[in-house]
Amino acid sequence: MGSQGGFYQSKEFLDLVKSIGEARSKAEEDRIVLNEIETLKRRISEPDIPKRKMKEYIIRLVYIEMLGHDASFGYIHAVKMTHDDSLLVKRTGYLAVTLFLNEDHDLIILIVNTIQKDLKSDNYLVVCAALNAVCKLINEETIPAVLPQVMELLAHPKEAVRKKAIMALHRFYQKSPSSVSHLVSNFRKRLCDNDPGVMGATLCPLFELIARDVNSYKDLVISFVSILKQVAERRLSKAYDYHQMPAPFIQIKLLKILALLGSGDKQASENMYTVVGDIFRKCDSSSNIGNAVLYECICCVSSIYPNPKLLESAADVISRFLKSDSHNLKYMGIDALGRLIKISPEIAEQHQLAVIDCLEDPDDTLKRKTFELLYKMTKSTNVEVIVDRMIDYMISINDNHYKTEIASRCVELAEQFAPSNQWFIQTMNRVFEHAGDLVNIKVAHNLMRLIAEGFGEDDDNADTKLRSSAVESYLRILGEPKLPSVFLQVICWVLGEYGTADGMFSASDITGKLCDVAEAYSNDETVKAYATTALMKIYAFEIAARRKVDMLPECQSLMEELLASHSTDLQQRAYELQAVIGLDAHAVACIMPSDASCEDIEVDRDLSFLNDYIQEAIEKGAQPYIPESERSGMLNISNFRNQDHHEASSHGLRFEAYELPKPAVQSRIPQTLIASTEIVPVPEPMYPRESYQTTMPSIPSDAGSAELKLRLEGVQKKWGRSTYTPATSTSNSTSQKTVNGTSQGDGASTVSSMRETYDSRKPQVEVSHEKQKLAASLFGGSSKTEKSPATGHKAAKASSHVVEKSHVPKSSLEVASEKATPAQQPPDLLDLGEPTATSTALQLDPFKQLEGLLDATEVASAVNGAPAASRSPDIMALYADTAAGIHNKNDADLLSGLSNPSVTNMPGTTAMPQVTQSSSKGPNPKDSLEKDALVRQMGVNPSSQNPNLFKDLLG
């Protein structure tokens, strides 16, 4: 047969292909193709085109569409061709429609009738062509139209037709299981077809059926095993041999099926041992397909109930794969090893060298696969080597996506298996140095927490050592140019907190370094903010230790610069620093206790210390505060609209344009809110005094919503991180409002940047927990023994959480958040709302996370004598904790600030409205939530001059 065969093409087509092939640029190619499209458009609609010509036109159309151009004008002609009597034309028509159309295309309806007719044709080639089209073009609605014919074809005398009919039925099952569920038994019947090809085709649908429901096919285990046995013993005709392997594709499918059926089923697995063992022995490992079967055997062995003999054979094959020169086999070997170590982790040991070799390989695919494996087999004994390698590789690659992944894996492994604190800090430093911008900020916070908390053991000495080694290494690293922002934040925080703690370095050393950082990275406001706060801490510690404080000249100039900064945040910090320096030792020691980042802070969450002041104000004739819900006097949900209205009135036109996205918010948030109203109706207070009390009833309601979310968690998580947006809005609501209310203009930018950090931090909490769980399940059986002695800090920490929880209602994450709070948000009246937000944000989340993990908490807190709603008070308590924590750390006594607004500068005055505001927000979290959601939706932070905020608060 010549190369043209029956598939003749004209010179024109050859010319087209040639000219496209010779096109020098994409533009030229496009031009040629567009020309061609014009020609075809004209020609194809001419009357009386010879069939052969028509066929060629259609093929040309298919070709054009493959090149990425629109050929839809010709679809209808392709459909028409399927109606033709000539097989040549009909087949071309079917080919074209299967390539052009998808199952939901409008034109399909014109083809169904033809397909029906063709399925009944006497010519089996026509039937085959129609079945090809059925596989591609029939959708759920049209299945009934062709189903009877396809069912008849299952008994067609030609095996090629039977095969295709089975595939068509399989396709129906994939598209709409319900429409053919009553016919599934046909697959079982066809398994006994006397043509091995048909039997092999049946395995495809059966594999899928079994994957969905293993238990109803357990009875077939014996049949599958005997089929596999016959195939492996070469009982099939020679025609099925492929590279001297008897029907390898059938063997592979059968092994896959057996792997499913034998998984966790000892009895079923026992039936398989002999045949799988036979295949291991007989399989020809010199051909590619033979290795494919061997690999499938390993997969099967690692999936079914383990058998030592088979595991041994599997390990042999794996070592053969790994020693082979072929990259493909190495790749399969690594993959197989990854499967097998889940069952017998000890085999990894003997292959460690081979695996390390794969790391040196130039093949990127192989390298990545290997890192995946290494990640799986990391233990405390090999963590140093593996993480070291991973970091080296991480430095070498450019693909940011993958770099991020490796970095997070390094962090995770280091956190989990770190042999020593020293090593851990060094490793983290390397990761931060090279991928700091890619690592999630939460990792940085974790590191800070770790340094602050020590490693969970009650050895203060070790902790101190750890800290001084960290300080030392950071001082060294600061010499390097161009460090990532996140890393600098960590460095600044650690230097501020512990720089002078061990007396090795003088305050002027540290402050000098910090000033250098702030200068060198003057574009990075976050780093500058961290540095300023660190400076304040250093000076505060100095003052508290009653040493003389000499401010370095560069530090002074930095402060001068910051005092006039455009960023209100930086300005704020600078003013605070100034204020702290002016205080006496005792006061400073109170507001800035040394190494207090882990301390718990007592908080008066009712803000009762304000009561006198308010009483006084009311007596003087001030208007009592009326909560917003009271003012509107409407239902809470519709309140939302009201809210919008409110703001619209105060901002004129500006908010009008943004009305659209509202429904989405409502559908998302009220879910929890409605529930919370149902649980506890929020009483509507009349006076500010009462409004404080109403925070109490509101606690359960708030908690109710939180708890409701907890329950929903399992379901919603599936939809990814976005689920957490509502939670974020809860937490941010107060902060955003207040900050906006006070800080003007550019303040908004600070806020949004802050918010970003919080947002980015939160999903991370979730991820790492998930990963930890995953790791736990991966290593569950194998590395348990290893973990307990060596991984000390992790395990100890987990347990310490529980303990902590039972005594003080506090989780480690809260501690972290608290610690992070002073770090990121130094005593900062302006941002009063903000830190609160941080803590709640973190708290809500970890609770959800922890709920599953630490069931003990509930019990513990119940024992503790906490009220029935064990969790909720925690949240509120902490909410308050942090809020007051900031107060404490602040020298500016709130009360004095309130009574004497003109004396304490700007922050003091603004503080009052915020406090009142946030307390008033207490009883009605819903409002703030909605408001915040609205703000987020609109992407606009209500600008500073919101008269309502102040009018209501200040009376």
Partner 1 sequence: MIKAVMVMNTQGKPRLAKFFDYLPVEKQQELIRRVFGVLCSRPENVSNFIEAELVRLQDSRLVYNHFATLYFVVVFDSSENELAMLDLIQLLGQQTLERCFKNVCELDIVFNYSKIHTILDEIILGGQVLETRSTEIMRAVEEISKLEAATNAISFIPKSASSWLSR
Question: Which positions from 163 through 182 interact with partner 1, judged by CB under 8 A?
Answer: 163-164, 167-168, 170-171
* Sign of the torsion angle spanned by Cα atoms 818, 820, 822, 828: negative
Figure out which of the listed residues 47, 157, 308, 362 binds partner 1, where binding follows CB under 8 A. Answer: 362
Among the listed ranges 1-9, 413-421, 475-483, 505-513, the one in contact with partner 1 (CB under 8 A) is 1-9
Could you give the CA distance from residue 916 to residue 896 in angstroms, rounded to a whole number? 15
CB of 296 to partner 1, least distance (A): 6
Does 83 bind partner 1 (CB under 8 A)? Our answer is no
Q: Which of residues 278-297 bind partner 1 (CB under 8 A)?
A: 288-289, 291-292, 295-296
Nearer to partner 1, 22 or 46 (CB): 22
Nearer to partner 1, 9 or 578 (CB): 9
CB of 730 to partner 1, least distance (A): 32
Could you give the CA distance from residue 923 to residue 919 in angstroms, rounded to a whole number? 8
Q: Which of residues 770-789 bind partner 1 (CB under 8 A)?
A: none
CB of 232 to partner 1, least distance (A): 16
User: For residue 900, how far is the Cα from the chain centroid?
Assistant: 49
Could you give the CA distance from residue 530 to residue 754 in angstroms, rounded to a whole number? 13
The three-point CA angle 797-799-801 to 5° equals: 70
Could you give the CA distance from residue 190 to residue 206 in angstroms, rounded to a whole number? 10
The pair of three-digit structure tokens given for residue 307, joined into one six-digit string:
């058998």
Quick check: 65 and 30 in contact, CB under 8 A? Answer: no
Among the listed ranges 16-24, 438-446, 512-520, 810-818, the one in contact with partner 1 (CB under 8 A) is 16-24
The three-point CA angle 344-347-349 to 5° equals: 130
Could you give the CA distance from residue 269 to residue 262 in angstroms, rounded to a whole number? 5
Nearer to partner 1, 28 or 604 (CB): 28
Nearer to partner 1, 123 or 381 (CB): 123
Q: Which of residues 188-227 bind partner 1 (CB under 8 A)?
A: 197, 201, 204, 207-208, 211
Does 85 bind partner 1 (CB under 8 A)? Our answer is yes
Could you give the CA distance from residue 272 to residue 260 in angstroms, rounded to a whole number? 12
Among the listed ranges 8-16, 473-481, 591-599, 792-800, the one in contact with partner 1 (CB under 8 A) is 8-16
Residues 129/130/134/135 CA torsion (nearest 10 deg): -20
Provide CB contacts within 8 A for 212, sequence distance 6+: none
Nearer to partner 1, 240 or 417 (CB): 240
Best CA proximity match to 382, nearest among 791, 777, 796: 791
Q: 336 to each of 258, 347, 855, how far by Cα in Å?
A: 17, 11, 37
Nearer to partner 1, 259 or 837 (CB): 259
The pair of three-digit structure tokens given for residue 680, joined into one six-digit string:
């506890």
The pair of three-digit structure tokens given for residue 349, joined into one six-digit string:
């040991």
Among the listed ranges 81-89, 408-416, 628-636, 877-885, the one in contact with partner 1 (CB under 8 A) is 81-89
Nearer to partner 1, 370 or 821 (CB): 370
CB of 131 to partner 1, least distance (A): 8
Figure out which of the listed residues 122, 360, 458, 460 binds partner 1, where binding follows CB under 8 A. Answer: 122
Best CA proximity match to 654, nearest among 349, 915, 951, 938: 938
Nearer to partner 1, 163 or 528 (CB): 163
Could you give the CA distance from residue 567 to residue 432 in angstroms, rounded to a whole number? 27
Among the listed ranges 33-41, 248-256, 444-452, 786-794, the one in contact with partner 1 (CB under 8 A) is 248-256
CB of 308 to partner 1, least distance (A): 25
Could you give the CA distance from residue 669 to residue 162 in angstroms, rounded to a whole number? 55
| DSSP code at position 9 | -
**Token pair 């908010």 in the structure block, residue:** 655
Figure out which of the listed residues 229, 368, 641, 651 binds partner 1, where binding follows CB under 8 A. Answer: 368
Q: Which of residues 530-549 bind partner 1 (CB under 8 A)?
A: none
Quick check: 692 and 606 in contact, CB under 8 A? Answer: yes
For partner 1 (CB under 8 A), the number of binding residues is 83
Could you give the CA distance from residue 320 to residue 645 in angstroms, rounded to a whole number? 74
Quick check: 575 and 563 in contact, CB under 8 A? Answer: yes
CB of 369 to partner 1, least distance (A): 8
Please list the helix, strand and coil fractions of the chain in percent, rounded to the nearest 5, in that order.
Answer: 75, 0, 25
The pair of three-digit structure tokens given for residue 261, joined into one six-digit string:
């059926």
Nearer to partner 1, 332 or 510 (CB): 332
Does 263 bind partner 1 (CB under 8 A)? Our answer is no
Among the listed ranges 356-364, 389-397, 767-775, 786-794, the one in contact with partner 1 (CB under 8 A) is 356-364
CB of 105 to partner 1, least distance (A): 9
Could you give the CA distance from residue 66 to residue 334 in angstroms, rounded to a whole number? 37
Nearer to partner 1, 291 or 821 (CB): 291
Among the listed ranges 325-333, 528-536, 640-648, 721-729, the one in contact with partner 1 (CB under 8 A) is 325-333
Long-range contacts of 43-52 (CB under 8 A, 24+ apart): 44/73, 44/74, 44/77, 51/84, 51/86, 51/88, 51/89, 52/8, 52/88
CB of 350 to partner 1, least distance (A): 23
Q: Which of residues 36-75 bind partner 1 (CB under 8 A)?
A: 51-52, 59, 62-63, 65-68, 70
Figure out which of the listed residues 328, 666, 677, 943 binds partner 1, where binding follows CB under 8 A. Answer: 328
The three-point CA angle 61-65-71 to 5° equals: 60
Nearer to partner 1, 68 or 720 (CB): 68
| DSSP code at position 263 | B
Q: Which of residues 226-245 bind partner 1 (CB under 8 A)?
A: 239-240, 242-243
Nearer to partner 1, 401 or 620 (CB): 401
Q: In this structure, are strands 241-242 and 245-246 parallel, antiparallel, or unpaired? A: antiparallel
Buried b (16+ CB within 10 A) or exposed e, 292-329: bbbbbbbbbbbbbbebeebbebbbebbbebbeeeeeeb
Could you give the CA distance from residue 567 to residue 529 in angstroms, rounded to a whole number? 10
Does 126 bind partner 1 (CB under 8 A)? Our answer is yes
Buried b (16+ CB within 10 A) or exposed e, 97-109: bbebbeeebeebe
Nearer to partner 1, 87 or 863 (CB): 87
Figure out which of the listed residues 35, 45, 86, 396 binds partner 1, where binding follows CB under 8 A. Answer: 86
CB of 864 to partner 1, least distance (A): 46
Binding mask 87-116 for partner 1 (x = CB under 8 A): xx--xx--x---x--xx-------------
Q: Which of residues 373-402 bind partner 1 (CB under 8 A)?
A: 401-402
Q: Which of residues 398-417 bind partner 1 (CB under 8 A)?
A: 401-402
Figure out which of the listed residues 136, 668, 689, 771 binds partner 1, where binding follows CB under 8 A. Answer: 136
CB of 247 to partner 1, least distance (A): 8
Provide CB contacts within 8 A for 56, sequence distance 6+: 9, 10, 12, 13
Nearer to partner 1, 236 or 813 (CB): 236
Nearer to partner 1, 316 or 399 (CB): 399
Figure out which of the listed residues 312, 363, 433, 851 binds partner 1, where binding follows CB under 8 A. Answer: 363
CB of 14 to partner 1, least distance (A): 6
Q: 585 to each of 544, 592, 943, how far by Cα in Å?
A: 5, 10, 40
Does 14 bind partner 1 (CB under 8 A)? Our answer is yes
CB of 192 to partner 1, least distance (A): 19
> What's the length of the chain?
955
CB of 240 to partner 1, least distance (A): 7
Does 6 bind partner 1 (CB under 8 A)? Our answer is yes
Q: Which of residues 429-458 bind partner 1 (CB under 8 A)?
A: none
